[in-house]
Amino acid sequence: MLDTDTMNLLLAEETKGRYVGPLPVQDFLDDYMPGDQKPRTTGLDLEQLSKVATHGQREEDMYEPFIAAVQGCVSDMIVVDTSKHSSRIGPFELKPDVCIYKERDTTSPVTDFSAMEMWIEFKANASFEPFEDPRGEGLSGEELKECFAQRPFEKDSSNGKYTRGQLTSYALAQIGSQFRRFAFSVLIVRHRARFIRWDRAGAVVSAQFDYKKDPHLLAEFFCRFSRLSPTERGHDESVRPSNLPKEAELEIRDKLKLDAGTPLFAYDVPVDEKKMFTFYGPRPPCPPQSLIGRSTRTLPVCEMSGTAKEIPRVYRAVYLKDTWRVDTKEMQPESDVYKKLEEAKVPNIAPFVCGGDLKGFGSKTDTNRLAGEERWGGVWGDITAHALHRLVLGVIGRGLIFFKCTKELVQGVLDSMRAHWHAYSDAKILHRDISSGNIILTDSGQGLLIDWDLSKPLSVTTKRRRDRTGTWQFMSAALLRNIFAEHKLEDDNESFLHVLAWSTIRFVPSTWPSRARTAHLRDIYDSSTILPDNNVGSQVKADRLLAGIYIPKLQLLQPSPILNLLESLASPFSARYVTPPADTERRIYESIKYAASMVNPHIGAEAYETHRVHQYDLSMQRLTSSKWFIDTM
């Protein structure tokens, strides 16, 4: 299990190149904290502020005077020292130094990521500063690019990386524990401060400033923040606590098998450009493990029926998906994809109820917009934009990993492969994210292929973006080794193989010792190599496919043909990773084939069908379609 320090370093690596700045402080305030151009800045206690970051002061001694200094700027909130009161998020205990809450949301100095409005992190040692501003002001884009080439904005020191990861972990915990579109935080390093705005594309970082020399900037930030509406602070008001009658809430909890007293929420889901429909359910499960990207959350919810004068009754339970979809021209909103799949009568997909992009403040990430401005000289590259998307499907299935027997496992994968092939051949759509989590089983054991948000029309031929498409464990070896390789049909077909093999090895009882099974799964499906610009998968997956030993030698406790099936399904993929036959080999093969046909076309075929060229061509032909795999299963 990862410790907190290791997690921080991994988060810093994951978010590398996603911190856009330094944005001039006044620009930050004007862009992200709308309101009076010259708001009143009274309330800042300068005497208390002078006691912060004095010579030789320990970090923990900075909290109390800082809190006393800024509390008057946020009179309707409470600023709390939370440095000694951690909150468990997954396996980690997290505790920002100082948090700001609405007064009614807390009565004690606790860390509550589900309620905090903002958090503030302090460093008494300047070596923990995670960013380095360029020297000089008013630099052009080209000058800034040249400056960052020599001294990157993100400090490469171990302490700098640690701090970036720490900040990211707090932002991830806050946004993930609430219904939020973005969040603000403050970083204090001795007598200097930065403001940060976080969203699902990265973080916008202000320039560093000396808050003792320019206290008005600190005061203006907190005064403006206190007067922002909940939406302007980042809250997603398309989700809110349920206001249904008690009888209706009891029925919802019973239908969804929730514990008594489980808080319920109302979720607005678009029906079309103007109309919303509201569904009711619990808070989504634990926060996503990544700040950047789609951050998908799914949960069962209830659709209600009844007139305005009646107590609402549960009509049915359905499946809600909340995600930050990739917002590019070549990527269709998932709700639109489902409509096209239904029009093409693609089988084995979940019935679409409604869905679309949410509108309003913060519904699209802004870090990518700022990064694309000319002022930065293109130094940030192509940061992927995301848009908040919510949809509802008319079925609640169980995950593929909860199969009851190997026959049901194979049937689930087979049904999903049929859906995939019909989508490809009839609707001209490639899924591009085949994983065990994207296949669900109905009560009857039918497999449904879901999560089409990374799919792409076959007519779109733009190169892959900086962000990978797919789930790491199940991505093809070809895509793992080359982040910019074109995602093809054979990549998805290989992913189906990995899903079936991984599920078998992981969940089907066998004589294999637990430690050996764990090591095998780690080496083939989880391992990676960290390179300067990105991570790549290990060569093990490709090597085992190439050598024809992809399926390990193990004995299942119950008889099943699934291991033989896996060996057959894996056999064509060796051709993807072998050196293609040379021209000389092809000429020899053609000569043998011609000679055999002259003797006896039926008997002579044996002379060339075992030839390497023939086997290679046959395998490559099978990879260009899903038909052979479907027929084999």
Its pTM surpasses 0.85: yes
Averaged pLDDT, 430-456: 96
Q: What CATH number is given to the structural domain containing 414?
A: 1.10.510.10
Q: Is the pLDDT of residue 267 over 60?
A: yes
Query: In which band, very low, low, confident or very high, does the pLDDT at 470 lie, cut at 50, 70 and 90?
Result: low
Same domain, 525 and 447: yes
Residues 6+ apart with CB under 8 A from 284: 297, 298, 299, 322
Query: For residue 463, what pLDDT is reported?
Result: 62
Same domain, 421 and 517: yes
Same domain, 193 and 326: no
**Cβ proximity of 403 and 503 under 8 Å:** yes
Same domain, 413 and 544: yes
> pLDDT by residue (tens digit) across 526-539?
887 655 556 666 78
The three-state secondary structure class of 572 is helix
User: Cα angle vertex 264, ends 177, 107, to 5°?
Assistant: 55
The whole-angstrom separation of Cα 534 and Cα 16 is: 9
> pLDDT by residue (tens digit) across 275-331?
999 999 999 987 677 899 899 999 999 999 976 677 899 999 999 999 999 999 889
Same domain, 166 and 121: yes
Annotate 530-568 with DSSP letters as a single string.
E-SS-EEE-SHHHHHHHHT--S----BSS--THHHHHHH
**Cβ proximity of 80 and 98 under 8 Å:** yes
**Cβ proximity of 268 and 288 under 8 Å:** no
Same domain, 240 and 215: no
Same domain, 57 and 197: yes
Q: DSSP 3-state helix, strand, coil percentages of the chain (rounded to 5)?
A: 40, 20, 40
> pLDDT by residue (tens digit) across 22-69?
999 999 999 999 876 555 557 899 999 999 998 888 999 999 999 999
* Whole-number average pLDDT of the chain: 91
Distances, alpha carbon 265 to alpha carbons 35, 134, 179, 353, 524, in Å: 31, 46, 10, 19, 41
Distances, alpha carbon 188 to alpha carbons 59, 126, 371, 480, in Å: 10, 10, 24, 39
The last residue of one of the domains, among 354, 370, 396, is 396
Same domain, 569 and 584: no
The last residue of one of the domains, among 348, 371, 396, is 396
Averaged pLDDT, 622-626: 95
Same domain, 595 and 482: no
Query: For residue 607, what pLDDT is reported?
Result: 67
Q: Which of 561, 559, 560 is nearest to 569 (CA)?
A: 561
Q: Is the pLDDT of residue 604 over 80?
A: no
The whole-angstrom separation of Cα 385 and Cα 631 is: 40
> pLDDT by residue (tens digit) across 177-218?
999 999 999 999 999 999 999 999 999 999 999 999 999 999
Residues 6+ apart with CB under 8 A from 331: 325, 453, 454, 456
Both tokens of residue 435? Answer: 């994983």
Query: For residue 465, what pLDDT is reported?
Result: 58
Q: Is the pLDDT of residue 578 over 70?
A: yes
The amino acid occupying position 450 is: I
Averaged pLDDT, 421-428: 98
Query: For residue 362, what pLDDT is reported?
Result: 96
Query: For residue 471, what pLDDT is reported?
Result: 82
Query: For residue 601, what pLDDT is reported?
Result: 62
Averaged pLDDT, 64-84: 94
Same domain, 473 and 326: no
Q: Is the pLDDT of residue 625 over 90?
A: yes
Query: For residue 311, what pLDDT is reported?
Result: 82
Averaged pLDDT, 234-243: 96
Query: For residue 89, what pLDDT is reported?
Result: 82
Averaged pLDDT, 431-440: 96
Same domain, 381 and 484: no
The last residue of one of the domains, among 396, 427, 447, is 396
Residues 6+ apart with CB under 8 A from 622: 572, 628, 629
Q: Is the pLDDT of residue 597 over 80?
A: no
Q: Which of 497, 498, 503 is nearest to 626 (CA)?
A: 497
The amino acid occupying position 192 is: R
Choose the most confident range, by mean pLDDT, from 103-112, 139-148, 304-313, 424-433.
424-433
Domain containing residue 114? 4-227
HSE-up of 467 (CA within 13 Å, CB side)?
26
Overall number of domains in the chain: 4
User: Cα angle vertex 300, ends 296, 302, to 5°?
Assistant: 130
The whole-angstrom separation of Cα 504 and Cα 502 is: 5
Same domain, 590 and 563: no
| Range list of H helices, 178-245 | 215-227
